[in-house]
Amino acid sequence: QVQLVESGGGLVQSGGSLRLSCAASGRTFGSLTMAWFRQAPGKEREFVASIRWSGDSTMLADSVKGRFTISRDAAKNTGFVQMNNLKSEDTAVYYCAAATFLTSSVVDRTYPYWGQGTQVTVSS
């Protein structure tokens, strides 16, 4: 089992920045893949970014490339998404997800473990 707790959401003006954190606990992290998804009102959940805990591979959705970065602090078992130049279309609930295997999947059902979600609201 892996437990995930997100933090860092909030209200920010367009063009601003936020950093989301996801603290993981439970199983060992040798083969962990952590991902972020988001879901806006009335829309399906969509992939944002992922990172393999070894740090050797990251992925970003095209819609956030050049604005978001994903990283992790392995010693603290915490992953991060730094979100810069935020736009109104980034408004959503952001979820941290994890799988105890290495994967490049952008499909939410690949990831068995989920956090509770954190709201990000970007005002224009």
pLDDT of residue 75: 87
CA atoms within 13 A on the CB side of 35: 28
Residues forming a β-bridge with 98: 34, 113
Q: What is the C-alpha to C-alpha distance for residues 113 and 98, in angstroms, rounded to an integer?
A: 5
C-beta atoms surrounding 43 within 10 Å: 9
Give residue-wise pLDDT tens across range 67-113: 999 999 988 999 999 999 999 999 999 999 999 999 999 999 999 99
Contact 29, 76 (CB under 8 A): no
Q: What are phi and psi of 91, to 5 degrees?
A: -60, 125
Give residue-wise pLDDT tens across range 31-54: 899 999 999 999 999 999 999 988
pLDDT at 55 over 80: no
